[in-house]
């Protein structure tokens, strides 16, 4: 268990039919080899070619590396940029009307209009090197690792995906993108589409309208270089990928080695960040420079704590929702969560935290043992924590840092506190709609650990599920989807949804926002449940009304925050507590709610929320171009499955399919 940190600017996550190489045979019905586990087959070369080495999108040596990207707002006549060194909160202003796009804008309903941007992605398998190991048969985009950089600001994004992987289907889920009225572009096999069969092509099209893409780098304007809006340097995203750390501090020797990439290093200098990049820095009032880091946890099973010795982190957004900045010495990043943090090039100096004589400081991550990682962590031991990067003030230095970790870092498995995560744009949560007159206004789901009482032949791996307490369902009901029959093609039919969805919400009332309140708890079982669960909802931000640790879900323990509660799309449910979330039922379609621990989702810990079914069916009738395209994709998928499985034309899945 572990991770290394790397530079990457990636907005997308991949859902394939073999979700995790190197673990068990989950999602294996379309894996054409039967004789080996994924651990074994992933170490068998698939082609005699050099493995791909990690190179972050936007690398300075790449042609067209993205630093010359320009927002194009030519359709917005009369608007101009308004960001200044003194005020970075404003992006665009209309001089005639006084209207502004700024940090207080309602990003769900009010955003700039850009252009249409097209990207082309080829999905294939290749060999890659990571942490000194070569991994064979990895899924890659455009023969690069981790893949191309997709940039947009107020644009319509079209991504043409061609699957050249010969033995599995694929789809691309755009994590954190709201997909308002574009449920069929969410990229979830068996729910929003059939998988893209080998040899087939599918085009995703969605609006980059949410605040994530407008605010992520504080970069805006009317056809001008993106670097101009934030003169204080931004750094590309940092990715926690959960592959496993192999460094000189590791307890095991590196075997099956290939070329080992250079350690992750940030260089804070007086005039530039990258050696061959001209400086555009402006330092108002000679204050220390500040650097924007984007932290993304894409691990399959590990929660991380991130810190930089002697440097406080100013946290400015959570899951792309702008928040009032606050300072902390570290930050816990759950699976699927994203944070923007600002680091000031001004190391703290005190008796407990002395300066490094060479100006070098460790960038540290720890796996949090309390979150169920199953490893013992001692942050004072070089053998058990992950020194995953170096911050240098002298780029010519090659010395290892002698800095010490912050003494106050907590290893507890807890999200950032509700009092810290205060959104700049406030929500006031209204009373929810009642699904049934006899129901409590808080709908209640419980996480069940353990297999169902009656085994499911097509789902031998079922070990986790949600139980619909409000709906009176007593036993486990693990989700299992059908790749060949997605919900998107059944929006006008209730029958396929029975016992498979949590709830079908009514159409609501005209001119009034409908809210849904949902409590998620843990059902204790003989099997136990040692994990906290990072819960992610597609298609929405949600408000966190309560997040309680070591507390039983009973009426006297419910204390809701309805005035500007924390807002995000991934929340960490404590392993001995509960969460209560609220979201607006304003996005027609079927949306996945699931645990972001990959093995838990694969074992059934997921459900679908069918929202405004009549509206969705009216938007995408059978004869609509979107439904016809989806049907064609399914036909290609069915043909490929039939041709690939002559002895079993209809192979049964052995996991949830998520």
The answer to whether the Cα torsion of 481, 161, 535, 587 is positive or negative is negative
Does residue 461 register a pLDDT over 70? no
- The top-scoring range by mean pLDDT among 95-109, 128-142, 218-232 is 95-109
Does residue 450 register a pLDDT over 60? yes
Tokens of 595: 């645990």
Let me know if 45 is exposed, middle or buried by CB neighbors in 10 A (0-12, 13-18, 19+): exposed
Burial annotation 449-475 (CB, 10 A radius, 16+ → b, else e) = bbbbeeeeeebebbbbbbbbbbbebee
| CA distance to 223, 541, 547, per residue, from 212 (Å) | 19, 11, 24
- Residue pLDDT, tens place only, 583-593: 998 999 999 99
- The top-scoring range by mean pLDDT among 35-39, 55-59, 490-494, 616-620 is 616-620
The answer to whether the Cα torsion of 388, 392, 397, 400 is positive or negative is negative
Higher pLDDT, 87 or 401: 401
Does residue 45 register a pLDDT over 80? no
Does residue 231 register a pLDDT over 90? no
* pLDDT score, position 375: 53
Percentage with pLDDT > 70 across the chain: 64
Does residue 12 register a pLDDT over 60? no
Under the banding of pLDDT at 50, 70 and 90, the label for residue 463 is low
As a whole number, mean pLDDT of residues 441-452 equals 74
- Of 4-13, 46-55, 70-79, least confident by mean pLDDT is 4-13
Does residue 502 register a pLDDT over 70? no
φ, ψ dihedrals at 208, nearest 5°: -85, 70
Higher pLDDT, 655 or 210: 655
As a whole number, mean pLDDT of residues 464-472 equals 68
* pLDDT score, position 624: 97
Higher pLDDT, 111 or 523: 111
Q: CB of 323 within 8 A of CB of 422?
A: yes
Does residue 96 register a pLDDT over 80? yes
Q: CB of 298 within 8 A of CB of 240?
A: yes
Higher pLDDT, 631 or 56: 631
- The top-scoring range by mean pLDDT among 328-337, 374-383, 390-399 is 328-337
Does residue 218 register a pLDDT over 90? no
Tokens of 349: 């100096």
Under the banding of pLDDT at 50, 70 and 90, the label for residue 141 is very high
Question: How far is residue 9's CA from residue 21's CA, in Å, rounded to a whole number?
Answer: 23
As a whole number, mean pLDDT of residues 41-65 equals 52
* pLDDT score, position 280: 32
* pLDDT score, position 91: 86
Does residue 242 register a pLDDT over 70? no
As a whole number, mean pLDDT of residues 184-210 equals 94
Does residue 291 register a pLDDT over 60? yes
* pLDDT score, position 108: 85
Tokens of 361: 């400081």
Tokens of 259: 């070329």
Does residue 20 register a pLDDT over 90? no
Higher pLDDT, 492 or 159: 159
- Of 17-26, 432-441, 530-539, least confident by mean pLDDT is 17-26
Does residue 13 register a pLDDT over 50? no
- Residue pLDDT, tens place only, 346-357: 899 988 889 999
Question: How far is residue 468's CA from residue 156's CA, in Å, rounded to a whole number?
Answer: 38
Q: Residues near 618 by Cβ (< 8 Å), separated by ≥ 6?
A: none
Does residue 598 register a pLDDT over 50? yes
The CATH classification number of 442-644 equals: 2.60.40.420
Q: How long is the chain? A: 658
Does residue 562 register a pLDDT over 80? yes
- Of 25-29, 91-95, 518-522, 571-575, least confident by mean pLDDT is 25-29
Chain-centre distance for alpha carbon 207: 18
Question: How far is residue 366's CA from residue 379's CA, in Å, rounded to a whole number?
Answer: 7
- Residue pLDDT, tens place only, 257-290: 334 344 445 554 333 333 333 223 333 344 578 8
Percentage with pLDDT > 90 across the chain: 37
Does residue 393 register a pLDDT over 70? yes
Strands 265-267 vs 386-392: parallel, antiparallel or unpaired: parallel
Under the banding of pLDDT at 50, 70 and 90, the label for residue 623 is very high
In 3-state terms the chain splits into helix, strand, coil percentages (rounded to 5) of 10, 30, 60
Under the banding of pLDDT at 50, 70 and 90, the label for residue 252 is very low
Q: CB of 371 within 8 A of CB of 332?
A: no
> What global pTM score does this model have?
0.81
Helix (H) or strand (E) holding 267: strand 265-267
* pLDDT score, position 67: 58
Nearest-5° angle of CA 224, CA 230, CA 235?
Answer: 110
Let me know if 17 is exposed, middle or buried by CB neighbors in 10 A (0-12, 13-18, 19+): buried
- Of 46-55, 293-302, 384-393, least confident by mean pLDDT is 46-55
Under the banding of pLDDT at 50, 70 and 90, the label for residue 539 is very high
What's the mean pLDDT when you consider all of the chain?
A: 74
Question: How far is residue 214's CA from residue 111's CA, in Å, rounded to a whole number?
Answer: 8
- Give, as one character, the DSSP assignment of residue 634: H
* pLDDT score, position 655: 77
Question: How far is residue 573's CA from residue 580's CA, in Å, rounded to a whole number?
Answer: 9
Does residue 658 register a pLDDT over 60? yes
Higher pLDDT, 7 or 302: 302
Does residue 181 register a pLDDT over 90? yes
* pLDDT score, position 310: 95
Choose the CATH number for 215-392 among 1.20.950, 2.60.40, 2.30.130, 1.20.120: 2.60.40
Higher pLDDT, 200 or 524: 200
Does residue 6 register a pLDDT over 70? no
The ranges assigned to domains in the chain are 9-65+115-209, 215-392, 442-644
Choose the CATH number for 9-65+115-209 among 2.40.160.20, 2.40.40.20, 3.40.50.1820, 2.60.40.420: 2.60.40.420
């Amino acid at each position: 268990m572990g991770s290394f940190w790397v530079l990457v600017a990636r907005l997308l996550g991949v859902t394939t039919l073999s979700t995790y190489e190197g673990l068990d045979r989950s999602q294996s019905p379309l894996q054409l080899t039967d004789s080996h586990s994924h651990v074994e087959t992933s170490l068998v070369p698939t082609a005699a070619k050099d493995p791909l080495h990690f190179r972050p999108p936007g690398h300075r040596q790449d042609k067209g590396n993205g630093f010359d990207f320009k927002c194009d707002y030519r359709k917005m006549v009369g608007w101009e940029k308004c960001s200044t060194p003194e005020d970075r909160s404003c992006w665009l202003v209309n001089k005639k009307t006084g209207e502004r796009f700024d940090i207080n804008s309602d990003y769900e309903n009010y955003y700039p209009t850009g252009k249409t941007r097209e990207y082309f992605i080829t999905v294939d398998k290749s060999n890659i090197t990571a942490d000194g190991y070569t991994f064979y048969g990895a899924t890659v985009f455009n023969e690069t690792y981790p893949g191309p950089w997709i940039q947009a600001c107020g644009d319509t994004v079209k991504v043409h995906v061609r699957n050249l992987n010969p033995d599995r289907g694929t789809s691309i889920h755009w994590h954190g993108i709201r997909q308002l009225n574009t449920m069929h572009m969410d990229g979830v096999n068996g729910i929003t589409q059939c998988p893209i069969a080998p040899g087939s092509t599918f085009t995703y099209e969605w609006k980059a309208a949410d605040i994530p893409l407008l605010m992520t780098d504080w970069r805006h304007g009317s056809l001008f270089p993106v670097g101009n809006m934030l003169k204080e340097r931004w750094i590309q995203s940092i990715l926690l990928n959960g592959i496993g750390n192999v460094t000189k501090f590791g307890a095991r020797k590196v075997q099956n080695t290939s070329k080992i990439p250079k350690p992750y290093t940030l260089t804070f200098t007086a005039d530039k960040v990258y050696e061959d990049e001209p400086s555009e820095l402006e330092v108002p009032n000679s204050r220390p420079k500040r650097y924007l880091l984007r932290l993304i946890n894409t691990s399959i099973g590990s929660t991380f704590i991130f810190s930089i010795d002697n440097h406080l982190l100013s946290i400015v957004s959570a899951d792309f929702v702008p928040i009032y900045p606050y300072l902390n010495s570290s930050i816990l990043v759950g699976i699927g969560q994203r944070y923007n943090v600002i680091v000031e090039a001004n190391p703290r100096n005190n008796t407990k935290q002395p300066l490094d004589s060479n100006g070098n400081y460790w960038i540290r991550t720890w796996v949090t043992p309390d979150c169920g990682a199953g490893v013992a962590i001692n942050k004072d031991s070089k053998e058990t924590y992950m020194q995953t990067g170096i911050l240098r003030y002298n780029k010519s230095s090659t010395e290892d840092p002698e800095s010490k970790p912050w003494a106050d870092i907590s290893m507890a498995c807890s999200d950032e506190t509700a009092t810290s995560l205060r959104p700049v744009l406030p929500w006031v949560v209204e009373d929810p709609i009642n699904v049934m007159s006899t129901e409590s206004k808080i709908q209640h789901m419980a996480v069940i650990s353990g297999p169902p009482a009656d085994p499911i032949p097509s789902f031998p791996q079922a070990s986790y599920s949600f139980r619909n307490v409000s709906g009176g369902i007593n036993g486990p009901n693990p989700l299992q989807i059908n790749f060949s029959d997605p919900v998107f093609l059944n929006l006008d039919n209730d029958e396929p949804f029975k016992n498979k969805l949590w709830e079908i919400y009514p159409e609501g009332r005209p001119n009034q926002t409908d809210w849904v309140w949902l409590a998620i708890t843990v059902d204790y079982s003989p099997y136990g449940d040692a994990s906290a669960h990072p819960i992610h909802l597609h298609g929405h931000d949600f408000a966190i009304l309560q997040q309680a640790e070591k507390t039983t879900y009973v009426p006297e323990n419910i204390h809701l925050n309805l005035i500007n509660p924390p807002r995000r799309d991934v929340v960490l449910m404590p392993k001995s507590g509960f969460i209560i979330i609220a979201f607006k039922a304003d996005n027609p379609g079927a949306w996945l709610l699931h645990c972001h621990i990959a093995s838990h989702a694969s074992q059934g810990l997921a459900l679908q929320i069918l929202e405004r079914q009549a509206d969705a069916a009216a938007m995408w009738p059978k004869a609509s171009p979107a439904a016809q395209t989806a049907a064609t994709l399914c036909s290609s998928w069915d043909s490929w499955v039939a041709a690939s499985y002559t002895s079993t034309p209809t192979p049964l899945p052995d996991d949830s399919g998520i």
